[in-house]
Amino acid sequence: MILTVLQISCRRLLHNRVELLLTFLVPIAFFSIFAIIFGGGLGRGTTPRIKVVAVDEIQSVVSSQVMSALAEQESLRFVRDSGADGLKREEAIELVRSGSATMAIILRKEREQLAAELMADASDQVAAQVVSAVVNRSIMLSEAEYQVSQLTDGDQKGNETQLAVGAAGDPDDELFGIEESLQRKVEIIDVMGEGKANPVVSMYASGIAVMFLLFGATGGGGALLEERENQTLDRLLSTQMSMDQLLLGKWFYMSSIGVLQVGVMFVWAQLVFNVDLLGHLDGFLMMTVVTALAASAFGLFLATLCKSRGQLNGLSVILILTMSALGGSMVPRYLMSDELQQYGLWTFNAWALDGYTKVFWRELPVDSLAPQLGVLLISGVVFLLAARVLAVRWETD
């Protein structure tokens, strides 16, 4: 009996080629996607570069050397040339707050010594550590180079005396001096997160919300295929209702459910995790409504593309998890290479997450959401039209 069950299960799998393909294709697809994201396979040589701006408030020889050294760092990408346009501290901080830059490096004088303030966006927890190390190293190297040049310029005797005194000192005191020097030289200041919930919470709330909007939408699309399979669609189309009305009705329903679903989740996030929903209600509603409309249209498109619910399930799992991985619902996009970050812009998730980040983290005015709302709305309309075109075959076959 057990052998027979095993046999018929294997035979059924072999007869269902799509299911057979998906059984082996899905794990390979996901392994490849995550290998690309974390292993740098596709983005080799284009490791994530941190977007920075720098302000030199000292304008000394050493600070200029530091600026030059930073500009040559491969891990940094200067979004604006501070030397060319005379960037000010406030402008730099604003660039961080608006999301144009991840960090602003401000070179200033402290106790007659060169120091740096790193104006950071705490949502990127990796960038602060990387930039801090890079700036520290650049300052120390530049100072050392400057001192060497001073020595060669003539005041050799006095410096030799200083070095000699330093060499004869207590090693523990010396180490303490280096640590103190490092702490003094580079200070990280969070310009975004004061008084806010953990940025990771709002980011993941958005990420999970978008992913489930997509899953919910394909589930709703599956209902359309179910109606087709049990001839309810034929019956509906034999009434006064047109395919246009049917698709629009389903689109509005799926979008409404999506808005409610995300709304309930963010209420929970406010109650339990202190995400400030009520304070950002306008931006939240705009993003959620448009994202839900786009996701629902995508679900209908997939449903009209597929011939059966089995096909839809397989295809939607692959697409949604891939989009979620690339678009930042699973891991932050700033961890990905520049190339993958660009690929991510082809997903709903990336645009929606950028929008939610503007709302909850950067607290930008709602008009700043125009690019995200525009892209999501246009893609929603395009998918809906594509679904309508594909559904023509159900009307006349």
Partner 1 sequence: MNYARPTPALAIHDLRKSYGDLHALKGVTFGLQRGERLAFLGPNGAGKTTLIRCLAGLTNADHGEIFLAGQPFKSSEARQQIGFVPQEIALYADLTTRQNLEAFGRFHGLRRRALRDRLAWALQWTGLEDRANDLVGAFSGGMQRRVNLACGVMHEPRILLLDEPTVGVDPQSRQRIFTMLDELSATGTSILLTTHHLDEAEERSDRIVILDQGMVVADGSIDELVEQSVGTQRLVRLRIDRPLSAPIRAGVAEDAASFGTTGADEISTRIDDVSNHLPSLIELVRRRGYGIADVQVEAPSLHHVFLHLTGYELRD
DSSP string over 45-92: T----EEEEEEESS--HHHHHHHHHHHT-TTEEESS-HHHHT--HHHH
* Per-residue contact string for residues 174-213; x = within reach of partner 1 by CB under 8 A: ----------------------------------------
Exposed/middle/buried for 116, CB within 10 Å: 0-12, 13-18, 19+? buried
Report in angstroms how near the CB of residue 94 gets to partner 1 at its nearest. 54
- Does 307 contact partner 1 by CB under 8 A? no
Encoding tokens for residue 139?
Answer: 């300052």
* Per-residue contact string for residues 134-153; x = within reach of partner 1 by CB under 8 A: --------------------
Nearer to partner 1, 4 or 231 (CB): 231
- Does 230 contact partner 1 by CB under 8 A? yes
- Does 393 contact partner 1 by CB under 8 A? no
Interface with partner 1 (CB under 8 A), residue from 69, 140, 237, 330 = 237
Exposed/middle/buried for 361, CB within 10 Å: 0-12, 13-18, 19+? buried
Pick the piece of the chain touching partner 1 (CB under 8 A) from 60-68, 102-110, 228-236, 305-313: 228-236
Report in angstroms how near the CB of residue 393 gets to partner 1 at its nearest. 11
- Does 396 contact partner 1 by CB under 8 A? yes
Report in angstroms how near the CB of residue 249 gets to partner 1 at its nearest. 11
Nearer to partner 1, 4 or 396 (CB): 396
Contact 139, 186 (CB under 8 A): yes
Report in angstroms how near the CB of residue 233 gets to partner 1 at its nearest. 8
Interface with partner 1 (CB under 8 A), residue from 234, 244, 282, 338 = 234
Nearer to partner 1, 304 or 379 (CB): 304
Rounded CA separation 247/69 (Å): 58
- Does 338 contact partner 1 by CB under 8 A? no
Rounded CA separation 349/211 (Å): 7
Pick the piece of the chain touching partner 1 (CB under 8 A) from 20-28, 68-76, 235-243, 260-268: 235-243
Report in angstroms how near the CB of residue 313 gets to partner 1 at its nearest. 20
* Amino acid at the residue 349: N
Contact 257, 220 (CB under 8 A): yes
Count of residues engaged in binding partner 1, rule: CB under 8 A: 14
Residue 120 DSSP class: E
- HEC profile for 136-194? HHHHHHHHHHHHHHHHHHCCHHHHHHHHHHHHHCCHHHHHHHHHHHHHHHEEEEECCCC
Neighbours of 324 (CB within 10 A): 24
Report in angstroms how near the CB of residue 383 gets to partner 1 at its nearest. 25
Interface with partner 1 (CB under 8 A), residue from 2, 3, 84, 238 = 238
Nearer to partner 1, 223 or 318 (CB): 223
Q: How many CA atoms lie within 13 A of 75 on its CB side?
A: 13
Interface with partner 1 (CB under 8 A), residue from 1, 15, 72, 240 = 240
Interface with partner 1 (CB under 8 A), residue from 182, 189, 197, 236 = 236
Report in angstroms how near the CB of residue 208 gets to partner 1 at its nearest. 27
Cα–Cα–Cα angle for 166, 171, 176, rounded to 5 degrees: 95
Distance from the Cα of residue 132 to its chain's centroid: 22
Exposed/middle/buried for 193, CB within 10 Å: 0-12, 13-18, 19+? middle
- Does 241 contact partner 1 by CB under 8 A? yes
Nearest C-alpha neighbor of 335 from the set 43, 113, 88, 104: 43
Contact 272, 197 (CB under 8 A): no
- Does 248 contact partner 1 by CB under 8 A? no
Report in angstroms how near the CB of residue 229 gets to partner 1 at its nearest. 8
Rounded CA separation 318/314 (Å): 6
Rounded CA separation 202/280 (Å): 12
Report in angstroms how near the CB of residue 394 gets to partner 1 at its nearest. 9
Report in angstroms how near the CB of residue 228 gets to partner 1 at its nearest. 10
Contacts with partner 1 by CB under 8 A lie at 230-232, 234-241, 395-397
